[in-house]
Amino acid sequence: MTGLYDHFAAHADRSPEAPALIWEGETISYGELHAMAEEAHAELDGANLPEDRPVGLRARKSPRAIALVLAALRSNRPFLLPSVELAPETLAKLFAQAGASRVLEPHGPRSESTSLRAIGDPSADIDSDEPSHWPPAEGADGVSFMLTTSGSTGLPKVVPLPAEAVDRFTDWAAEQFEIGPGRVVANYAPLNFDLCLLDIWTTLKHGGTVALVDQDKATQSAYLAELVDGAKVDVLQAVPMLYRLLLDVAREASRDFPNVKHVITTGDKIPPSTLEALPELFPNARFYNIYGCTETNDSFIHEFEGLADGDVPANVPIGKPLPGVKTLILTEDGPALEGTGTGELLVWTPFQTRGYLNTSLNAEKFGAHPLGEPELTYYRSGDIVQVHENGTLTLEGRADFYVKVRGVRVSTQVVEQAILEHPDVVECAVVAVPDELAGKKLHAVIRREPDSKLNSLTLRKHCAERLARTEMPSTIEFVTEPLPKTSTGKVDRKRVLAQLEEMSHAHG
């Protein structure tokens, strides 16, 4: 199978002047990016690194960082690409787990230099007592990208991706969203996120142009609007926060983005009010919701029909499985669901990992189909879904977002979704806080539209029409500032809860 780098190099050979990247208002051609990648590869090749060990890459998004990833692919060398925002101790543990022989980064404050550098003294690059888990249980052959999970439940897990899985995914994405020469794809996500497999690596493999969002400017609505407009972006994939930012600037300046052909929401549920506004913002686009996770890559896709006519679903479907994807839904009692109903989603995809690098973590998440197909390893998502009569699935919440309130099992995500259906709600977080009588009670933190008169009484009436009595928030707090976000733009409920606890201690 011809790999990602070989396809990229072939485009650089055929069309060296074609635009590969748009960065800070400048265009980097395929020929220029290929030269950067070859230069980085020569340095990797001359570093006399152990052939049987991966490298660690600590790289903020930039053309040089992308060239460094391409160089690792060119060398057929596995590489761990974690978030640069992680604490140094966490990074050291992850690089040690991955068995990285060296941690490299593009040199220079803005990654402008052609040279690479090791972090610290080469012999002490990875100062951690964390044991190495390299190589993977299935063997090191074919592993390319090693990404990490979010770490929401502790130390992020290392997810090795086989090169064949990456190739299958990038071929599907290119066909689905018409990515190729002449197409411009925006990249909003940080370089370490699996969303880049579509934004960056699919695009470069198939000869398109990547318009890179500078992460330091990722919340600047005017900058984002100028990038989407100025680069004439065709394909836009992002978490809901980006679309909210574009809506804010579009409303102020009465503008839209007619060049965009494909708009993809992913990563978190998009509020109905934001979804309803997208056809006016992107008048010539088709609209999709994509569901997936780092372990399996994208698994489901839903194309919205009728948004322009006001047909906006209150609960956005995750859709139907991608080609080749197999699913299983387990009820709370254990048996597999047949027909309509609700249960936990298990998935097998042609694009997935074979398991975590630390195999001791696999038992909870990876396993054979309980009713057959022992040759396939299914991933237990932890997501609770509902199967509808037309075969589509909607996400009802995560198993770990269920809490007991007065002995009744409640999903905080279901409560959030009901609140978000109010047109004056911009964003919200519902968290469970301790209560002497109920054990737990629900506290909702809500940001309204700037000129909204929405109050607790009105919102409670809205919720009463949609939620069971046990699902009603006990307390409602309105805020004017955006809620805390994770590095992927999702509402950070842990930080919301931590802020509430700090306030409680301060007033205690």
Instruction: Classify 429 in phi/psi space as left (phi over 0), alpha (psi -120 to 50) or beta.
Output: beta
Lowest mean pLDDT among 71-75, 139-143, 317-321: 139-143
* H or E segment to which residue 320 belongs: strand 317-321
Report helix angle 412-420 to 456-464, nearest 10.
110
* H or E segment to which residue 85 belongs: none
pLDDT tens figures, 90-149: 899 999 999 998 999 886 544 444 445 554 333 345 567 788 999 998 888 899 999 998
Report helix angle 63-74 to 30-46, nearest 10.
60
| pLDDT in the model for residue 489 | 67
**What number of residues does the chain have?**
508
Taking the whole predicted model, whether its pTM rises above 0.85 is answered as no
What mean pLDDT is predicted for residues 298-306?
A: 94
Residue 188 predicted with pLDDT over 70? yes
pLDDT tens figures, 354-378: 999 999 999 989 988 766 667 789 9
| pLDDT in the model for residue 110 | 43
Across-strand partners of 224? none
What mean pLDDT is predicted for residues 483-507?
A: 78
| pLDDT in the model for residue 243 | 95
Q: Pull the structure tokens for residue 219.
A: 């919340």
Q: Pull the structure tokens for residue 81.
A: 């690409």
Rounded distance between C-alpha atoms, residue 417 and residue 408, angstroms: 19
> In three state form, how does the secondary structure of 2-65 look?
CCHHHHHHHHHHHCCCCEEEEECCEEEEHHHHHHHHHHHHHHHHHCCCCCCCCEEECCCCCHHH
β-bridge pairing 317-321 and 116-118: unpaired
Contact call for residues 461 and 454 (beta carbons, < 8 A): no
Residue 14 burial (CB < 10 Å; 0-12/13-18/19+)? exposed
Contact call for residues 33 and 63 (beta carbons, < 8 A): yes
Contact call for residues 376 and 326 (beta carbons, < 8 A): yes
Distances (CA, A) of 128 to 60, 88, 465: 22, 10, 54
Exposure on the CB side of residue 140, measured as CA atoms within 13 A = 14
pLDDT tens figures, 403-422: 777 667 788 888 998 899 99
Hey, which of 76-90, 161-175, 429-443 has the most confident mean pLDDT?
A: 161-175
Distance of alpha carbon 168 from the chain centroid: 19
Percent of the chain with pLDDT over 90: 57
Mean pLDDT, the chain, rounded, equals 88
| pLDDT in the model for residue 291 | 94
Secondary structure of residue 129 in the 3-state scheme: coil
CB atoms within 10 A of CB 364: 10
Range list of H helices, 79-236: 88-97, 163-176, 196, 203-205, 221-230
* H or E segment to which residue 128 belongs: none
| pLDDT in the model for residue 436 | 67
Rounded distance between C-alpha atoms, residue 371 and residue 34, angstroms: 48
Percent of the chain with pLDDT over 70: 91
What are the strands, taking DSSP E only, across 54-170?
Answer: 55-57, 79-80, 103-106, 116-118, 143-148, 158-162
Rounded distance between C-alpha atoms, residue 319 and residue 299, angstroms: 9
Lowest mean pLDDT among 22-26, 205-209, 250-254, 315-319: 250-254
Contact call for residues 190 and 240 (beta carbons, < 8 A): no
| pLDDT in the model for residue 109 | 40
Contact call for residues 414 and 478 (beta carbons, < 8 A): no
Could you give the domains of the chain? 321-397 (2.30.38.10), 406-507 (3.30.300.30)
| pLDDT in the model for residue 152 | 56
Instruction: Give the DSSP letter of residue 485.
Output: B
Report helix angle 240-253 to 221-230, nearest 10.
90
DSSP 298-309: EEEEEE--SGGG
Under the banding of pLDDT at 50, 70 and 90, the label for residue 446 is: very high
Under the banding of pLDDT at 50, 70 and 90, the label for residue 196 is: very high
Q: Pull the structure tokens for residue 233.
A: 């972006």
Rounded distance between C-alpha atoms, residue 83 and residue 81, angstroms: 7
Q: In what order do the strands lie in the sheet with 439-448?
A: 425-435, 439-448, 475-479
Rg of the chain over Cα atoms, rounded to whole angstroms, equals 23
